Each structure stands twice: as structure tokens, then as C-alpha cells.
Structure 1
């Protein structure tokens, strides 16, 4: 909330300053335009989660977070900006978990090989936690929110120490790529043993390669002030990532491979409503430990009553699916959201209705390999539907979802999820 108020204060001050600007003559017009550009750039940085300084942008996402394993997680991080160099960059963070009483950090840097193709070589050393079963595409743009709803209730993490080298390359404005080679030491923070050929692993080493491609064939771009800007966010978008782990390379314990795919389509209707579809799928083969398998982004805590489970709804999560309830080595999810035009009740009160349906299906071979953790598979279709009423007051709203179909629970109340939402944009 303090960050929220800080951003509002910055915008208010910028707007007030602009409103109080006296009438300028022609000799002052250039300076006025430059000041406006600087203010716009500053607000854009804040919206992306950065507080800019002369040579360094402070990363706001590391200031305060909370999850069930670390409790409050607080620290500092950031990245050098173009004033420091347009050819080199340094980035990193240092955070502390007050519940697990442990430091986590990242040290990284990169240098530009080719400006036209925006080709960078990056080196990174990370000692941190990662949610078990989560998947992230290398080519995903930075995504910042004032707080991450799912993070509040996650309790299943594994610690990893990862050394990596990566190559970012832009084949065209529409096709981005990133390739990464990494060596990791994995240590689950929970009781877990992975059984392979009568050998039991409670921690393990991995040597992996990843290749990620992001294709946005219908987006439009234009050059502004010497920089390429996306002027139209076109749909559909496609993202593909292949991961390979190599046994006995730099001491790696397992061979496995993963293929992840995502496509997003969005339709904008004449009545200003928007329909958005997101299809995500993944498959893993070989000796893959549970840390690198898949969940379906659940966001429901195991409490007895609806009010005890009341928390914050995520942006793309299954609100009625309990944390750690399902894991898969092959899965797919489909999410459909229809966002209506805001209700224009007054200048300041414009709530917005969103209808949502989500579906997931998956399976897992050799479930008996994963010892010490209990879970189900998604071999039957998981279904939930509901709605959100957003922006009721100060960006907060309400969410309701109901679980039905193949994984409908006997107790009616256990199929319900009632939460609040938080949406704010700059």
C-alpha cells in the first residue's frame, strides 16, 4: 500500500507541476517538451517497477514480499541504465527472509554484441528459492505488480544455486529468442526423495540447456527517440521453450527434457469489451524430479471454511485448486476471460465485470518415484468458472469461483472460492 501511495504521490506532483506551468514563449517550448518527455519516462519506469537514479534503476519488487516459507522477504536490487552504458549492464539483488532467516541474492551482468539485433550475452549467479512445479519462459517480458497475489500463500519451494550464461537475440521485431546454459544445485526445503534405479536423491545437481522463442506476428513497432517501441500489442502471440538436462555433464544427476508452449489470443469488441484466451501446455520426459514438473498455478489454501480461505485472487491462477493438490509431467490449461466495458457510474466509480472459465487436464507416469509428498494427477478434466467485479474502491474488487466437473468435491463449500482482487494501472 505504501508503494501504491508513493506512485500516486509522484503522479499527483507531476500533474500539479504541469498544471502550474506558466505560459511559455517559443524560446521555452523546447525545454517544456523535454521536461514532459522526462516526466513521462519517469512515470513509465515507476509503472515497470523501477525507481530511476542517474546510473542505476532501483528495483521495487525486492523491497517487500511475503510467502508462507520465508514470511516477510525484504531487500534491495536493481540494474544499471543507459546512462551507465548502452553496451554493458550490471544487475543483482540481496534479500532476507525473516521466517527462514536466510539471505538470498543474485549477481549478474551482460554486454551487447550487436545493437541492430539487440544481441546480449549475460552471466548470472543466483542463490535463491523457486516455487516447485512453476515454469517460466526465458523470453517473457518483465512483469511487475504492486504485490503478487499467489506468492502470499505459496509454501512449497526448493533452493537452487545456479550459474548460467545466456544469449539474447532478436531475429526480427516479431521474433525474439534466448538460449541459456546453466548448472544448478537443487535442495528442496520440504521432505522429498526422488527414486531412480534404487537410488534415492533428496538433493541433486542439474546441467541444463534452454532455448526459448517468442513470436508476435501481429504486433506493430515504430522508432521513437532512437528506440524501438511496440505501438500495437497484436494477437495471437506464441511462445515455445525447450529444456534439456544432461546426466554426467558437470556432475549432473539426471537426463530429462521438457517442452513448454503458450499462446494468447485477444478479441476487442465494438462495445469496448474484451475476450482473452490463454492456452498453456507442457510435457516432460525422462527422469524429471518434482521440482521441475508442472502444477496448474493453484491459488487456494487448505482451510475449513470459505472465510478462512479468503485471500487475494491471482491474475491467471486456478482459484479453487488447492496448493500442492496436483502435479503433472504432461498438462494443458485453457483460460477464457470476458471483460465488460466499465460501468460508468461516476467519474471516480467505474467497476468492471469479468466472466472467467478455466480448464486443466494432465497426467503423470511413475508417481511412485516421488516420495515424501502426496498429490493427485489431472487425468480427469478440472473445471472452474466464476466472475470478478474489479475496481470497486482504491483498485480493490471481489472474486467468486466454483469448482465442478471431474474434481468436484463432496462438500459443497469446499468447491467455492471467495476472494478480493487488486487492479491498478498507471
Structure 2
């Protein structure tokens, strides 16, 4: 595990360094600081820009327990190609499962003022079982994704979707999607549906997602509406409906997901952050679309065998596939102490963390060939991080206690790396 992680890190750092040096070699002779800043901005968002096409660094290399090393290439056209149309695609290969995955998509803008786009996408890939993504989250880039290294429960997903993005006003973004999917778990799983066991299935879903940032400030910059100051709290709400017998869909269920983030203080003196995430499903919902509460601990005997990389908002002591819920709530409290001002470029920071999860599931017996618990007693962990000790790396220590405390002391402890880099 550590070997693969080291290789992954070295490759990403090498890619980043090369990209930076390339940009400096190209731009510095012209002393074009504006272009250089723009390049660094693209790089921070995970893109390597060219004249008409921005390469997406997310697809260069990753690692997980099912695919092993996953590598490929992808990207999206930029405004030099067209301000009204865009094409985005990627292709990757997993060296452990020996499969190609890909996505082909495109979009066209209906209205510039409201940033209204219609997008069409065809995707043949994997998705983590029990995960939920808000449509309005848009793009989020990390040099590597800590949780991904340890995930082993995926389902194959072939999806055709049409999507509408629309900015109702500067503080309210909406996104809707209609999708038809074929789903095939990569693990031995069956769901008892109408007295039959379903192993793979079809889904037709409609989603509506709202992102409301009432306290943020926006300005028109470079003919585009941009968020100039993040204000808190921020709210996200998403409703999902699966329709049985529509385009051969097998399931009829609904999901309602909510998230709010609140920050108090400022970065120079210390910041407190509260994140609440909640979700509920109703109807016949397969394991693929339940909730797993973001676990990030692998099932190994010793603390050092479980030594990996801490996630940003995951439960570090909760083991993968330990709990699934059809309704759940998580609350995460983080307090960032004032950074240690050791030097201009060396400012380690301590973060105090407490996480709590509460959930339940009505009919676990409908899910065949899998074993998991519920969260109805309430799950608690607390700990701290010391970030940015060396080259963006730090350390994390978390302890599991309360109703789901385990008999072996070491099984309740998670000791891990952290990794924080910003451009």
C-alpha cells in the first residue's frame, strides 16, 4: 500500500513540477505575469491549459483497491475553441481489473447572463457504492484523493444523461439531470425485489440540485459572474427520484440530501468550521444508492498496517463497508488554531476535530451476500491534525469512542498522514 502511494505521490509531484517549469520557461521571457497567474490558476483547478483544450490532471494517475493503478487522459475545450460550445471526455485504464473506462460529453450555452448550459454525457466507468454527489458541487481537484486509495466496493455504471445548469440569481445555482443507467456491482450482491433476487439492474433517475450561498459576494469580472468572497453559512439541497418501468428501470425510490457549511473566524487567527450532511431514502433502494457516512479506515490488524492518508471530511476510524444507512446525519466540527509563524514559508497548523454520525436502515435483510451494521446508536470520533509539517504533509490522530467503541484499544485508533497543498 505504502509502495503504491509513494509511486503515486512521486508521479504527481513530478507532473506538477514539470508543468510549473514549463509555464515559467514559456512565459517568463515575455514577462507576462497575467498569463502566468492564469496558468497557475488553471493548474490549481487541476487543468494543464493549451490553446484550445485544457488537459484534466485528475485522470493522469490514481490508485484504489479494485483497479489498482488507474491511469488515462482527459480534458475539456476552452473559450478559445468556443464560448458557446464545449466538448469534454476522458479515457482511463485499470491495471488490476484490466478494463478501459471512458466518458464522452458536450454542452452548449443557452444564455450567457444566467450561465445556462445544456450538457449531454455518455459514461462507462466505476462508482463507489454508497456515495452521494451533489450536482451543483461542480469541480473539486486534489493532487490525490486520500479515500480513493482504500476503496474496494465499486459498481460498474453505464449512464446516458442530459443535464441543465442555470444560475437563477448570483446566489442561487440550480442543476437538473435526467439519467438512464445500467448498474452491475463488482462484488457478490443481490437485492430482494418482488420475491426475486436482483444482481444487476437498470435505473432511470431525475435529480434537482440547489446551491444557495446567501452571504457570498459576487462581481462581474472578465464578462463573467464570479464569487469574490465566500460567505457562510452555505446550503445545498438535492432531490433524486427513480422511476420504475421508465426505460426498463427496476426500482422506484426517492432520496433527499442536504448539506450546510458554516465557518467562524479568519485564517490568520483561527477558524471554526461546522459541516452537517443529512440524507434519507424512501422505497426500494439498492445498496449502491444507500449512504456509507464516508469511512476511511482499512481492515488491518495493527495501527501501522492501517497507516495511510486522512481524508478531508471522512471518518478516519470507521472501517470501509462497516455501516450502511437509508437515513443518516453526520456533523463534523473542526477548529483550526492560529498557524505557528515559524518562518514566511513554514507555518504548521493544529486542527482539532470531532465527528458524529447517526443513522439507521429499515430492512437490512433485503440486501443479500453483504454484512453491515447500522448507526442508530450514534458514532463518535475525535482527534487532531498537525498540518503542513513538511512539503504539505502532516500527521493525523483520531480515536473512536462511545456506542461503537471496540474492545481492542488499537482498533479504535487511526494514525495517518495529512496532505494539504494550495496554489
TM over 0.5: yes
Equivalent residue for 1:395?
392
Deviates more, 1:271-280 or 1:181-190: 271-280
Aligned to 1:139, the other structure's residue is in SS state helix
Instruction: Give the match for residue 409 of structure 1.
Output: 406
* 1:368-387 correspondence runs (5 A): 368-387=365-384
1:10 to partner: Cα distance: 5.0
Higher Rg: 1
1:196 deviation in Å?
A: 1.6
2:300 to 274, 297, 303: 303
Q: Which runs of 5+ in 2 are unaligned?
A: 1-9
SS for the counterpart of 1:171 is: strand
Q: 1:109 aligns with which of 106, 110, 115?
A: 106
1-side partners of 2:21 and 2:273: how far apart? 32
Q: Which residue of 1 aligns with 2:140?
A: 143
1:3 corresponding residue in structure 2: 12
Shift of 1:225: 2.1
* Residue 60 (1) aligns with residue 69 (2): no
Structure 1 outlier segments of 4+, above 6 Å: 12-18
Alpha-carbon displacement from aligned partner over 1:7-54 (angstroms, at most 9, x marks no partner): 345556767999x88xxxxxxxxx86xx22211111100000000011
Cα distance, 1:267 vs structure 2: 0.6
Deviations 1:312-333 (A, max 9, x none): 0000000000000000000000
Task: Tell me the equivalent position of 2:117.
Answer: 120
Give the structure 2 partner of residue 28 of structure 1: none
Say whether the 8 Å CA contact 2:268–2:339 is kept in structure 1.
no
Q: Which residue of 1 aligns with 2:261?
A: 264
Change in CA separation of 1:97 and 1:220 when aligned onto 2, cut-off 3 Å = same
Aligned-pair CA distance for 1:347: 3.1
Normalised by the length of structure 1, the TM-score is: 0.94
1:293-323 Cα offsets, whole Å, 9 max, x none, are: 0010000000001011100000000000000
Q: Could you say if the C-alpha distance between residues 227 and 269 of structure 1 is closer, same or farther in structure 2, counting changes exceeding 3 Å?
A: closer
Inter-partner Cα distance in structure 2 for 1:15 and 1:357: 42
Aligned residue in 2 for 1:349? 346
Shift of 1:3: 3.0
User: Is the 2:279–2:327 contact (alpha carbons within 8 Å) kept by the matching residues of 1?
Assistant: yes
SS at match of 1:43: helix
Q: Partner residue of 2:235?
A: 238
The CA RMSD measured in Å over matched residues stands at: 1.6
* Pairing 1:286–2:283 present: yes
| 1:423 is aligned to 2:420 | yes
Aligned pairs, number: 414
Alpha-carbon distance in 1 for matches of 2:25, 2:244: 61
**After superposition, where does 1:170-181 map in structure 2 within 5 Å?**
170-181=167-178
Gaps of at least 5 residues in structure 1 are: 22-30
